[in-house]
């Protein structure tokens, strides 16, 4: 069988196809990416400097033990400083509230999602995101939550909360999100 293209043209097509695949591969997140659906509503943004979560009295109509109850009464996000996975002082009240909530609702399992801002290499940010999610997990375990109820994942810089490219956006994107994965009402 003869090919309609010569060897040089076929080689050029193969190189072009390989370059296209490489370009696509460099923009997609590695590892599993769980889509956020209606079961995991986004919490309103609370700047890192604002104090802890609101109380149940401020949120009438919330089903106790639900994802919404967790987000409103415990908080789902803690923030980190640049190039750091050390828990900040403002993270500890949120994580204490999460631990208290998780103790009350013992059938709930969570996933800690470590996130970074857009700066730095993809590999660096995946590693930093993993350290951030593990720091949160270790804190919750130290507060009596069984490690078997907590999974961790790093999304690196692949899932920013804020698409901006400025200090405010970067500060918001340096976080760990606690997401309920099962057992909520």
Q: How many CB atoms lie within 10 A of CB 170?
A: 18
The CATH superfamily label for domain 65-185 reads OmpA-like domain (3.30.1330.60)
Percentage of the chain modeled with pLDDT above 90: 65
Rounded to 10 deg, the angle between the 91-104 and 122-142 helix axes is 60
Kindly report the pTM of this predicted structure: 0.69
Q: Report helix, strand or coil for 11.
A: helix
H/E element, 155: strand 150-156
Report the candidate in 176, 181, 82, 185 with the shortest Cα–Cα distance to residue 138: 176
Q: What is the pLDDT of residues 100-156, one digit of tens each?
A: 999 999 999 999 999 999 999 999 999 999 999 999 999 999 999 999 999 999 999
Q: Report helix, strand or coil for 152.
A: strand
Report the candidate in 168, 148, 154 with the shortest Cα–Cα distance to residue 126: 154
Strands 77-79 and 175-182: antiparallel
């Amino acid at each position: 069988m003869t090919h309609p293209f010569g060897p040089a043209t076929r080689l050029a097509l193969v190189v072009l196809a390989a370059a296209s695949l490489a370009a696509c591969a460099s923009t997609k997140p590695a590892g599993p990416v769980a889509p956020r659906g209606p079961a995991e509503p986004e919490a309103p943004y609370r700047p890192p400097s604002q104090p802890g979560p609101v109380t149940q009295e401020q949120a009438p109509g919330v089903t106790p033990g639900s994802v919404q109850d967790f987000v409103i009464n415990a908080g789902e996000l803690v923030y980190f400083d640049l190039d750091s996975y050390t828990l900040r002082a403002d993270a500890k009240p949120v994580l204490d509230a999460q631990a208290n909530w998780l103790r009350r609702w013992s059938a709930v399992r969570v996933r800690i999602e470590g996130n970074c801002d857009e700066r730095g290499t993809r590999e660096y940010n995946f590693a930093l995101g993993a350290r951030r999610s593990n720091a949160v997990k270790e804190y919750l375990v130290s507060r009596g939550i069984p490690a078997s109820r907590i999974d961790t994942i790093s999304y690196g810089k692949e899932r920013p909360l804020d698409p901006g490219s400025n200090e405010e956006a970067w500060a918001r994107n340096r976080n760990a999100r606690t997401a309920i994965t099962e057992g909520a009402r």
